[in-house]
Amino acid sequence: MNENEEYTDHVVDDLATLAQFNHAYQAHLLAGSLEAEGIESYIHGETFVSVYPCLVNDGNGIHVKVRESQLEEAKKILNRIDSQAIPDAELPKAINVNGKVFHLVNGNCPECNSAAVYLQSETTAAVLGVVALVFSLSVPVKVDANYICYGCQYSWKS
């Protein structure tokens, strides 16, 4: 190093886990929200979960990490995002959409990540009937389930 060159100390923060998810899109949505607020974020474990989705549990999902020096600010952003979600206690157990009844199920909307996901009730009965038929005939049959998100009104089949 030349004596005329200026040396600048770089502070390296340790990374801290802000949140953990089972699906990559959830981690990317949060990371994008953090980046929009000026907080650098890193996604850790996405490849593992993509390759071994059956091994995902509470300890080895996809982690969104931030610098420790930005952790408190990132937590405030995460809390603000969470506060905009509809609390489970306020969600109706069933909704009527165009004359079709949908019941609340566990899951997340692929469009907005809301937990307010509903399954069409006729589909539930049809699935149970098809499962009984499949086990009795041992013939594979694919049945689409109809879902709708209470938050953004997105609907999809699986």
pLDDT digits (tens, 9 = 90+) for 129-139: 555 555 555 55
Our measurement of the distance from residue 28's CA atom to the centroid of its chain's CA atoms, rounded to an integer in Å, reads 9
Can you list the domains of the chain with their CATH numbers? Answer: 15-83 (3.30.70), 88-157 (no CATH)
Whole-prediction pTM: 0.49
Q: 143 pLDDT band (50/70/90 cuts)?
A: low
Task: Tell me what pLDDT residue 89 has.
Answer: 60
Q: How far apart are CA 116 and CA 3, in angstroms?
A: 63
Q: What is the pLDDT of residues 44-65, one digit of tens each?
A: 988 887 777 777 665 678 899 9
The Cα-based distances of 19 to 2, 4, 15, 16 in angstroms read: 44, 45, 12, 9
Q: How far apart are CA 4 and CA 22, in angstroms?
A: 51
Task: Tell me what pLDDT residue 149 has.
Answer: 79
Q: How far apart are CA 114 and CA 11, in angstroms?
A: 37
48-51: long-range contacts, CB 8 A cutoff, minimum separation 24 = 49/22, 49/23, 49/24, 50/24
Task: Tell me what pLDDT residue 108 has.
Answer: 75
Residues 6+ apart with CB under 8 A from 154: 109, 110, 111, 112, 148
Q: Which helix (H) or strand (E) holds 97?
A: strand 94-97
Task: Tell me what pLDDT residue 21 has.
Answer: 81
Quote the mean pLDDT of the chain: 75
155's tokens: 């609907």
